[in-house]
Amino acid sequence: MLSMSPWLPALMLAVLCAPLTGASELAFKKEGKGPGIVLIHGFGGNREVWTEISKRLKTSHTVLSLNLPGHADNSAPPLKEKAVDLDAVAAEIAKLIRKQKVEPALLVGHSLGGTIAIRVALADPKAVRGVILVDSSLAPIPRAFTDKLEKDLDTNPSAALGDFFGGLCKGETQKARLVQDALKVQVPVLKAYARALGSEALGTRVTAIQVPVTLFASTVLSPDPAKEKESLKQLGCDGIPKFTVSYFVDAWHWIMWDDPDTFEILFNDFETSIVSGASGGGRLSTSLR
């Protein structure tokens, strides 16, 4: 029987969680022709979550749908104190936008992808013309929740992910897909992203965002539109200078799956407002059924 050196597991983990180097490049899919759009998925996902939206938008846009570091065929994410360094990830995305010559791009980020998209706008404002946050919170998730997720991932990844996604998605079929995709990501990578979600705060940095930002919010994220001011403060969005929000009443966390028609309409409306300059200030709330 072959014996394993006692230091080999540690070495394997170190390789898995090694920071991105300058030679690394995010895996992406580029489709269509026209103004640039960058689609960023959320925790445990991959670029395929955007298939339907990309199909609709690529008829008139150049669409980049990418995989985050550590997901699908990408190298492990850059780390900072055992958590994913979201600012470093954002810098990599900004470099990709420049390299693919799609700037200034409209960024669309779902959940975790939205918190990264905002950081891209801070890292390279001239590479971005607007940001759509799809059910994203810019404030840290309570550490009690992310600590439990980390612990459960060590014990039973499938059950942990089922619990994590179960209250956010519409039905068992959707949950099964999400768990299946997330199980393709190494557990140390998932844990590092969970730590980032529980610790990476933007705070007053949002006041420096120069481009228009809109939030597509489900009732999972913001259950009571009547309490908008309080909700936006909890989500860390209340200091963004050029900000609007729309509520998808019948959609769950994966809004682009649950209501792609309305998603497309509001995407086009937001893009039109950027071109016309109508998104230049104030807050516009829309509730959609």
Look at residue 154 and tell me if it is in a domain: no
Write the CA distances from 155 to 6, 175, 178, 179, 191, integer angstroms.
Answer: 22, 20, 19, 15, 12
Look at residue 211 and tell me if it is in a domain: yes
pLDDT tier at 220, thresholds 50, 70, 90: confident
Q: How far apart are CA 243 and CA 110, in angstroms?
A: 17
Evaluate the CA torsion angle 73, 133, 177, 261 in order and state its sign. Answer: negative
Residue-wise pLDDT for 92-124, tens only, equals 999 999 999 999 999 999 999 999 999 999 999
Look at residue 194 and tell me if it is in a domain: no
pLDDT tier at 14, thresholds 50, 70, 90: very low
Q: How far apart are CA 272 and CA 276, in angstroms?
A: 6
Q: What is the pLDDT of residue 278?
A: 73
Q: How many domains does the chain have?
A: 1
Domain containing residue 271: CATH number: 3.40.50.1820
Domain extent, residue 30, equals 20-141+201-288
Q: How far apart are CA 55 and CA 263, in angstroms?
A: 13
Residue-wise pLDDT for 223-271, tens only, equals 777 788 888 999 999 999 999 999 998 899 999 999 999 999 999 999 9
Look at residue 170 and tell me if it is in a domain: no
Look at residue 52 and tell me if it is in a domain: yes
Average pLDDT on 15-37 reads: 70
Q: Which residue has the higher pLDDT, 62 or 285?
A: 62
Confirm whether pTM is higher than 0.85: yes
Residue 245, strand partner residues: 215, 285
Residue 128, strand partner residues: 105
Give the mean pLDDT of the chain.
88
* Contact residues for 46 (Cβ-Cβ < 8 A; gap 6+): 67, 71, 72, 181, 184
Q: What is the pLDDT of residue 224?
A: 76
Write the CA distances from 282 to 120, 129, 216, 239, 278, integer angstroms.
Answer: 22, 17, 16, 11, 10
Residue-wise pLDDT for 129-165, tens only, equals 999 999 999 999 898 999 999 999 999 999 999 999 9
Look at residue 191 and tell me if it is in a domain: no
213 pLDDT above the threshold of 70: yes
Count of Cβ atoms closer than 10 Å to residue 231 Cβ: 21
